[in-house]
Amino acid sequence: MIVKGPDYKERAVLQWTSDVRIAAKRGRILDRNGKELAVSANVFRVDLDLNSLRETTKKSKLTMKDIAPELATILGMESKDVLAILTKTDSKGKAIGSAILKRRIEKATTDKINDFSKKNNLRGIVITGDTKRYYPNNNFLANVLGHTNSDGNGLTGVELYYNKYLTGIPGMKISETDRKSEELPYTISDYTKPVEGKDVVLTIDEMIQYFCEKAAAQAMIDNKAAAVSIIAMNPKNGEILGMANKPDYNPNDPWDLTKTFDENQKAWRNRAVSDTFEPGSIFKVVTSTAAMEENLVSDKDIFVCNGSTVVLGKKIKCWKTTGHGSQSFVDILKNSCNVGFMELGRRLGPEKLNKYISLFGFGKKTGIDLNGEALGIIRKTKDMTALDVATTSFGQVNTLSAIQYLTAFNAIANGGKLITPHVMKEIVSYDDLNNKSVLLAFSNYNERKIIDEPIANQLRSYLEQVIESGGGKKAFIAGYHIAGKTGTAQKVINGVYAPQKYVSSFAGMAPANDPQISILINIDEPDPSNYYGGQIATVVAKQVFNDIFNYLSIKSDASSEEIGKSLLKDVIVPEVRGLKKIDAEKLLKASNLKMKLSSNGDVISDMTPKPGYTVKEGAEIILHTGTVKADSNMVMVPNIVGNSPQATSALLNGLGLKVKFVGNGIASGQSIEGTEVKKGTTITVNLDITAD
């Protein structure tokens, strides 16, 4: 007793006491305004004291096989699974003393378990407190929030990255027992209260997230896309205000039984952080910055584009195969001219081009506080040929992630600083009187100056012109001074460019003189008949920007009438001459246009404006009846760049024009545009597999 006293005492305590761990409540995840995005509800768990259960089943002349089916029915489990737990042995084949039967059950289920135990005079089925993770908004922000595993620990997203703060400290209840494991009426229990987890407050704004989610879901439908990602950020401090991925999943029920393990893993992945793509023309912002910083380009420079250029004996086409002609530096940005940017790449050379690629953070992790961030692939300087420099300059060869690109783009928005993107704003806790304490505020900004502020300011003014009158004009909203760039890239699958597979993108910021918000739209594998970034990604951006401007009360210097008009869609006036008034009205109504009759005749003889003109939806078309005028067979030739051959034929033929196609792909150029011609005129349309 003297020599082995401590050992005997420890054994005795184990014999006459039992302990139960009491789960701590996991901390909440909140948006920046305190809206609950993930919470933990108080539920229950079923633990088993198997020694006591074996003894009492024997007394009641029952076996584990007898009680397994009813337990399974109550708990919604398979009988064989329950029996396996009830009869589990250790590695030596000896029956184990305790086990967890099921976690996170509701009160109604615990009542049924207690009734079952009483009915059969069983002891050893122990009900204790537990917590269950719950996401009130289901799929909302799913790929950012992530979810927890069966033990309540973070498995993906914020739940994983900030698990150590969200996870509390379990409590413990130690009770003295008699030899039958029944709690003694005179027992002295030792109770340690569980410590709740801390709350993680995100930079996410629930409303801005909603705008992103809504737009991404609609973009998937409208473009028959495989996936859509949208990010909205504050470019001044790296805060992510919204990050939506479609398709997504419901973290309340993360395992979709209709999918394989790999398919479920893919659904959980945050594509805005984990997936990479060739950026296409949105990368021209980086090439422009490099050339401006190195003083290798000026506003006076003239770039001549004849539709292609030859590098190391290989002909590389501009997306507009008929060429852009003579252009200034601003023009090559507005027109997204590949030939112009290949010239900038030639002036820079591999060393200087890669210097800025590195400065902007490509090929490296941004340090975002989410798991699974991709590096992207950047061609090494020593391996770059003149051909690599040419294609890199307009966004091919290298790959990057959406979050990498928007982080780099923010440096143009904020005057030249690269700042770590992040979703955590602060970690907080509350005392018993609900007083809030900030335990940790995000501080790892890693802010560093990478370009001169005057260069960034000047480039923003150029990018504003891209939206006002260049390839991004479908994103234009009057008075808000959006600056941005579109991009269209063929998708690389297994190391080769996949036919009919594209990635369409748009990056934008506003207002251009002092950006408060930046966004990135990424549409993966849109309908191959309409995949051009300037046609589809800009439309999504316009919707997101407008919602955010209204929500944040960002002021416009245009009148409400001008803003409203700019938000309307462009419509090409259809041909209605020769139709009866009633049929003309139907056709105009189908195009969201109004009509006004100038006379009371029955058949339309002329109209103002002429067919083919581009007007805003809701515009009024004046229809004339009676005498046929001399110019009644004239139509306007609209811009059809970006349209499929089928859409081009339908549009031009509907106006009474003939069409001749040259090449394959989508419309990249046309012989006549913006001119009134006689019906029957042939328009030559150049087609190309456009990578902008």
> What are the residue boundaries of the structural domains of the chain, listed by start?
18-137+166-197, 206-567, 570-632, 633-692
CB within 8 Å of 659: residues ≥ 6 apart: 648, 649, 652, 653, 682, 683, 684, 685
Of these residues, 52, 181, 281, 336, which one is catalytic?
A: 281
Residues 578 and 429: their CA atoms lie apart, in Å, by 74
Q: Which CATH number fits domain 206-567: 3.40.710.10, 3.30.1490.20, 3.30.1360.200, 3.40.1650.10?
A: 3.40.710.10
Residue type, 304: V
Domains 570-632 and 633-692 share a fold: yes
Please provide the CATH number assigned to the domain covering 570-632: 3.30.10.20
Average pLDDT over residues 117-145: 91
**R_g (Cα) of the chain, nearest Å:** 33
Alpha carbons 488 and 509: distance in angstroms, whole number: 19
Q: Which of 1-5, 206-210, 614-618, 626-630 has the lowest mean pLDDT?
A: 1-5
Kindly report the number of other CB atoms within 10 A of residue 500's CB atom.
12
pLDDT attached to residue 377: 95
Query: What whole-number distance in Å separates Cα of residue 513 and Cα of residue 150?
Result: 50
Query: What pLDDT, on a 0 to 100 scale, did the predictor assign at position 193?
Result: 77
Task: Determine the Cα angle at 631 with ends 629 and 632, to 5°.
Answer: 65
Domain 18-137+166-197 is found in CATH 3.90.650.10: no
Closest CA to 668 of 651, 649, 684, 657: 684
pLDDT of residue 186: 43
Strand partners, 428: 199, 438
Residue 208 has pLDDT above 90, yes or no: yes
Q: Which residues contact 465 (CB under 8 A, 6 or more apart)?
A: 330, 333, 334
**Residue 578 Ramachandran class (φ > 0 left, ψ -120 to 50 alpha, else beta):** left
Cα–Cα distances in angstroms (integers) from residue 327 to residues 35, 130, 300, 304, 331, in the given order: 51, 68, 10, 6, 5
Mean pLDDT of 517-531: 95
Q: What is the mean pLDDT of residues 659-670?
A: 91
3-state secondary structure of 441: strand
What per-residue confidence (pLDDT) applies to 433?
84
pLDDT digits (tens, 9 = 90+) for 253-312: 999 888 899 999 999 999 999 999 999 999 999 999 999 999 999 999 999 999 999 999
Looking at CATH, the fold of the domain delimited by 633-692 is given as: Trypsin Inhibitor V; Chain A (3.30.10)
Is residue 632 annotated as a catalytic residue, yes or no? no
